Amino acid sequence: MRVGIEDVAQLAQVSTATVSRALRGLPRVSPATRARVLSVAQELGYVPSRSASGLASGRTETVGLLVPSVDRWYFGHAIEGVDQVLRDSGYNLLLFSLGGTSAYGRQRSFSETMVRKQIDALLVLTLELSPEEVLQLHHTGIPVLSVGGPVAGCPGVFIDDSAAAQAATEHLIALGHRNIGYLRGGPQDEQDFEVPNLRTAGFETAMSRAGLQLRPEWMVPGNYTVSGGVRAAAQIFDLAGENPTAIFCGSDEMALGVMFEAQRRGIRIPAELSLIGIDDHDFSAPAGLTTMAQNPWDQGRVAATMVLAELGGVAGSVQEKIMPFALLERNSTAPPQR
Amino acid sequence: MRVGIEDVAQLAQVSTATVSRALRGLPRVSPATRARVLSVAQELGYVPSRSASGLASGRTETVGLLVPSVDRWYFGHAIEGVDQVLRDSGYNLLLFSLGGTSAYGRQRSFSETMVRKQIDALLVLTLELSPEEVLQLHHTGIPVLSVGGPVAGCPGVFIDDSAAAQAATEHLIALGHRNIGYLRGGPQDEQDFEVPNLRTAGFETAMSRAGLQLRPEWMVPGNYTVSGGVRAAAQIFDLAGENPTAIFCGSDEMALGVMFEAQRRGIRIPAELSLIGIDDHDFSAPAGLTTMAQNPWDQGRVAATMVLAELGGVAGSVQEKIMPFALLERNSTAPPQR
DNA sequence: CTGTTAGCGCATTCAG
DNA sequence: CTGAATGCGCTAACAG
């Protein structure tokens, strides 16, 4: 019942070599032969064995995707984008999740051996790899590309996080806010990945350019999660003394958390508090959250496309690419009440 | 530079067969030999080629996971659970996303050939497969198990969706509500998958048992998404005549959408409107949403564990399993205002 | 407990 | 344009 290339060859009355060429669209097969082989293969329901072709050709037609976790907005969408272009090209997607529960933190460690000899290229999502890990990876000789953030030693596809954060903060400043809070990542995020720090830098740049003071008590960690945002908001709201009139959140999820907590306390948005995030999370439009939008789906697509081009023989296809971000004004920002 | 089993064998002064046995933990290898082989393999950085071992053994040590999309709460968490147990057992996870944008809808079609000869088992997430597709799958001879909902013709791991919906509705009724609305899936969801219909059935059962009338104008589609929930809520709120005092939402995402819209209109929850969902989405606790909780992460783990046991030789390991759900009372439900 | 011998199913030379 | 032969790197009998 198991149909192999041999069966197709026999029925089509050609050699297995010809079947192989015909099926893969290689040249040097007459149109007539190709058609015959194709129809026979179809009829028999022949599917080449990946193991066998992989062993024989040295190519697995599989791309690995290393992610901190899959159950978060950015990752889910980026994975979806990658999957889409891979699938359309007949490539397989081997998923490696480190099962992190925090935004960027990883629970399990990544070993180069997980990946060795079974993929043609590796995409790394938003993960800080240590120099040794990158070295190991390069050692395998396969193309490595990061998505969503920079990884030292290999090109990446991502937005200019610092610029995005700066622009978001400047939106608040342009609205007239001077007392601006900032929700950053947790210690874990900041250690494991560079993006949080870039966003912090962008915030600080905007503030200092506007001649505004940084208020340490208004710069609190939120772990990039909704519940972290809730906690951070509570912490700021509970502060004695004046409250910020606006908060820039390093992610929409945190901003949404702040919204929930504000509502709970009867703090009106944007009348009493302006809020801006980064991402354009699925929930942001329904919630009316102003944000600096980015598109992980697109970033995944772009990265996967580059990798496929590289594997397709176009050397130099894999290169750094800065993706766009854009301000989406909704209903969570307004000039400060006076 | 490429180190194969032969290299290890030479350096360890044994045959390749012994290396293979030692590395895979098979019996019939003396402890001393095994230790030596292991250390040599380690030293050389040897990793067996998946292609080669797959070809030779007929097993790929890879499990396929077919999902409607990855960028939604249920799927993301279930995938995470599956990945975790697979990875812990040294298995690979091959991801096939159909790229659906709606909750259950699929954008692309699934072909059995995508999966043939490259996986040892297939997990199907919350997707309605046609009888022919199931047949094709069974034809491949690999174990197939569904997660998150029933698929005719193969066992599954999921909650009793009808009972969960009924229990959620009964919570509202027990609180004293009699005017109860219901947010269901969109036409696409209901066609592509059975879960939405099961939840609807549970709602209707609870209502009829309590002797309550179904109000068609209060039973509106929400596509299982936040934005769908916003639209559905608007539709209900805009109705002339009395409003429901409570709404049961077929998913937390829709319930969250209703919350956003209610807040926009100044409708207080739970004072003026009680809300209950199903899922326990990550946002539900921060939002204070009462829900009938389920745990997709766990469901994924259980399913993957069964499949591994089956592949490990324990025939009959893959079987239907009903998972628990539980009411989580938070702050979105209360007795009706009178 | 260990080595020898055959393939696994296909892609690739190299002839023709 | 096509076929025959070779081997990818490993596992699985089978001997010993």
Mean pLDDT, each 10-residue run in order, chain B (338 residues): 87 92 89 92 92 94 94 95 94 90 56 84 88 83 93 94 98 97 88 89 98 95 95 96 95 98 95 97 97 98 97 93 98 92
Count of Cβ atoms closer than 10 Å to residue B320 Cβ? 13
How far is B332 from B334, CA to CA, in rounded Å?
A: 7
Residue B256 DSSP symbol: H
Round to a whole number and report the distance in Å from the CA of A107 to the C1' of D11.
Answer: 34
pLDDT of residue A199: 96
Round to a whole number and report the distance in Å from the CA of A133 to the C1' of C9.
Answer: 35
Q: Which residue in B38, B48, B39 sits closest to B5, CA to CA?
A: B48
**Dihedral angle, C-alpha A43, A44, A45, A46, nearest 10 °:** -120
The residues pairing with A159 across neighbouring beta strands, listed in sequence order, are A323
Chain mean pLDDT for chain A: 92
Beta-carbon contacts of B324 under 8 Å, excluding residues fewer than 6 positions away, are B159, B294
Give burial (CB, 10 Å; 0-12/13-18/19+) of A231.
buried
Contacts of A263 in chain B (CB under 8 A): 263
- Among B93, B256, B264, select the one facing A95 at the smallest CB separation: B93
The residues pairing with A156 across neighbouring beta strands, listed in sequence order, are A146
Asked if the Cβ of residue B33 lies within 7 A of any atom of strand C, the reply is yes
What does the pLDDT average to over A60-65? Answer: 95
How far is A248 from A291, CA to CA, in rounded Å?
A: 9
Are A118 and B288 a contacting pair at CB < 8 A?
no
What would the two tokens of residue B263 be?
């807040």
CA distance B171 to chain A (A): 23
pTM of this structure: 0.94
Confidence of residue A321 (pLDDT cuts 50, 70, 90): very high
Asked if the Cβ of residue B6 lies within 7 A of any atom of strand D, the reply is yes
Torsional class of A80: left (φ above 0), alpha (ψ -120 to 50), beta (otherwise) = alpha
Instruction: Tell me which protein residue sits closest to nucleotide D4, measuring alpha carbon to C1'.
Output: A15
Instruction: Tell me which protein residue sits closest to nucleotide D2, measuring alpha carbon to C1'.
Output: A18
Contacts of B226 in chain A (CB under 8 A): 282-283, 286-287
pLDDT of residue A104: 46
Rounded alpha-carbon distances, angstroms, from residue A77 to A74, A291, B280, B323: 6, 17, 21, 28
Asked if the Cβ of residue B33 lies within 7 A of any atom of strand D, the reply is no
The predicted-structure confidence for A200-211, as pLDDT tens digits, reads as follows: 999 999 999 999
pLDDT of residue B236: 97
What does the pLDDT average to over A329-337? Answer: 96
Q: Which residue of B has its CA nearest to A74?
A: B71
Are A83 and B77 a contacting pair at CB < 8 A?
no
Residue B223 DSSP symbol: T
Q: Which residue of A has its CA nearest to B67?
A: A80
pLDDT of residue A102: 45
Residue A216 DSSP symbol: G
Are A80 and B94 a contacting pair at CB < 8 A?
no
Peptide bond into B324 cis (omega under 30): no
What does the pLDDT average to over A44-56? Answer: 93
Contact status, residue B304 vs residue B248, Cβ threshold 8 Å: no
Are B50 and A54 a contacting pair at CB < 8 A?
yes
Residue A274 pLDDT exceeds 60: yes
- Taking each continuous run of H as one helix and of E as one strand, the counts in chain A are 13, 12
What would the two tokens of residue B239 be?
């109705």
Buried b / exposed e over B189-215, threshold 16 CB at 10 Å, is bbebbbbbbbbbbbbbbbbeeeebeeb
Are B47 and A117 a contacting pair at CB < 8 A?
yes
Residue A77 pLDDT exceeds 50: yes
